[in-house]
Amino acid sequence: MRTTSVGVFRIATTGPGDVSGLMDLIVSGAIDPNSILAILGKTEGNGGVNDFTREYAVAALCTALAPKLGLSAPDVEQRIAFVMSGGTEGVLSPHITVFTRSEAERPAGLSGKRLSIGMAHTRDFLPEELGRAAQIAETAKAVQTAMADAGINDPADVHFVQIKCPLLTSERVAAANARGNTTATTSAYSSMAYSRGASALGVAVALGEIGSDLGDEDVLRRYDLFSKVASTSSGIELMHNVVIVLGNSGASVSACVIGHAVMEDAIDAAAVVSALNSVGLGAAPQTTAGRALINIFAKAEASPDGSVRGFRHTMLEDTDISSTRHARAAVGGLIAGLAGTGAIYVSGGAEHQGPAGGGPVAAIARLSD
Write down the pLDDT at residue 49.
Answer: 84
Q: What is the pLDDT of residue 72?
A: 96
94 assigned ligand-binding residue: no
Give average pLDDT by consecutive 10-residue segment, the chain, 369 residues. 90 98 98 98 91 94 98 94 94 98 82 94 97 98 97 97 96 97 96 96 98 96 97 90 97 96 98 96 74 95 95 95 94 97 96 96 90
Alpha helices in the chain (DSSP H): 20-28, 53-69, 73-79, 133-150, 170-178, 188-206, 269-278, 323-339
Is 328 annotated among the ligand-binding residues? yes
Annotated binding residue 358: yes
Is the N-terminal amide bond of 127 cis, ω within 30° of 0? no
Tell me what pLDDT residue 284 has. Answer: 78
pLDDT at 112: 87
Rounded Cα gap, residues 36 and 6, in angstroms: 10
pLDDT of residue 282: 86
Active site (catalytic) residues: 164, 233
Per-residue pLDDT at 286: 62
The answer to whether the annotation marks 79 as part of a ligand binding site is no
**Hey, is 14 helix, strand or coil?**
coil
Q: What integer pLDDT is reported at residue 289 of this predicted model? A: 64
